[in-house]
Amino acid sequence: MKKRVEQLWQRWGDTVRFFLWGLTVALVCFLLYRVIVNNHAQHLVPLSEGGRDSLMTVGIPRGMSDTLVRRDAFDVYFNSARGIANCAVYELVTNELNGTAERMGEFMPDPDVKGCPSPQDYAGSGMDRGHLVPAGDLKWSETAMRQSFLMTNICPMHKALNEGGWAKLEEKVREWTARDSALLVFTGPVVSESDTTLANSQVTVPRAYYKIIMAPCVRPMRAIAFIYPNGHSGGRLSQYAVSVDEVEHKTGLDFFPTLPREEQERLESTVNLDAWLN
């Protein structure tokens, strides 16, 4: 009888221990889930239309040829002296990632911009007509898709860049948008006095291109920049990651000029690629 009782107590103790162990595991998993979800939610805040427009402003230095062209989905700061933009900027939000508009559009001069090049200026040059604001980010609107083929949004790109590292970076932007709710993207050429022009026109062929990506809805806000040579672009993202300050130094442009000076310096002076990849 005594042995029977001891066996029952042992079985009961094993059951209790197993139950407590399972309860502990479930509680730990629940707490981890709450921490992850709450941290994510706490770091995402809505972006007002006015706040977005303010952050998308680009400071253009005096003496740099510039015409601001506003389209449905993006803005272009066009440089008529070079025949290419100084910068194109747009916002990409999560619900725009799954649009159904097919890639469509005919390259056309921008009727609103004096001195805009013609698609024929690129003929026989060996250069792609490279989108600054990618058509792949405008599937949510057929109008925006067509506007992306206006020549104010086009620059001479080597095929190795356009179909290589640049395309991979554009895909990363979409991945980061899905995670961070909304991104602001600034793209343009890095030019120098030694740059050549297309054979059939005076359109400048840049030596490199930059892309600046800002996550305005996360707290603290973060930004990262990349500079890709206009040619072969293999390798990891880390090879091309730079500070926003470096892009400003090489282009003369001023990004995020409406932010307080301390916030500008924090966003623009560092290169924290891990914050984007993790």
CB 190 within 8 A of CB 161: no
Query: Residue 224 belongs to a domain with what CATH number?
Result: 3.40.570.10
257 with 169, same domain: the answer is yes
Provide CB contacts within 8 A for 253, sequence distance 6+: 58, 59, 60, 61, 86, 87, 188, 247
7 with 102, same domain: the answer is no
CB 232 within 8 A of CB 164: yes
- DSSP class of residue 201 equals S
Report, as residue numbers or ranges, the catalytic residues.
Answer: 131
Cβ neighbour number for residue 216 with a 10 Å cutoff: 23
What pLDDT does 10 receive? 64
109 with 61, same domain: the answer is yes
Structural domain range at position 184? 47-277
13 with 103, same domain: the answer is no
Vertex 156 angle, CA 97 and 119, to 5°: 90
pTM of the model: 0.83
Mean pLDDT of successive 10-residue stretches along the chain, which has 278 residues: 54 59 55 42 61 89 89 96 96 91 88 91 94 96 95 97 96 96 97 90 96 95 97 91 98 96 95 92
111 with 233, same domain: the answer is yes
1 with 122, same domain: the answer is no
CB 109 within 8 A of CB 150: yes
Report the half-sphere exposure of 159 (CA within 13 A, side-chain side).
3
- Overall number of domains in the chain: 2
pLDDT digits (tens, 9 = 90+) for 109-141: 999 898 899 999 999 999 999 999 999 999 999
19 with 103, same domain: the answer is no
219 with 262, same domain: the answer is yes
2 with 116, same domain: the answer is no
191 with 58, same domain: the answer is yes
Vertex 236 angle, CA 93 and 102, to 5°: 40
What pLDDT does 40 receive? 43
20 with 118, same domain: the answer is no
33 with 143, same domain: the answer is no
What pLDDT does 274 receive? 94
